[in-house]
Amino acid sequence: MASWNGSTRHPSTVGERGLMKVPRYHIFSGVRDKDALWLESVEGLGAANERMKERAAEKPGPYFIFCTDTHAVLASINTSSDNDIKDRRASA
């Protein structure tokens, strides 16, 4: 079992042999607290962000990245055509 040695590293990121594990982030479609649908988990925040953008390009709509360690949404994107119309109205 991994143990925490008092360093600034989060204990959940230390593996059995003391090696740092790359954190996993969860990609969802939809709106958090409304109609979110889990799609996949990805190692590393950069990779998760790229994957979220790929999914948004393949199928437009709202997507977000969720971190289970902090219970926070770390990034989001909305590529739906409804969002484009709202953005155009706001800038007019």
Q: What is the mean pLDDT of residues 32-51?
A: 96
Domains held by the chain: number: 1
Long-range contacts of 55-64 (CB under 8 A, 24+ apart): 55/27, 55/29, 59/29, 61/29, 61/30, 62/29, 62/30, 62/31, 63/27, 63/28, 63/29, 63/39, 64/27, 64/28, 64/32, 64/36
On whether residue 69 sits in a domain, the answer given is yes
Predicted pLDDT at 81: 83
Which range is least confidently modeled, 5-19, 27-41, 78-92? 5-19
On whether residue 4 sits in a domain, the answer given is no
Q: What is the mean pLDDT of residues 67-83?
A: 91
Range of the domain at 74: 22-91
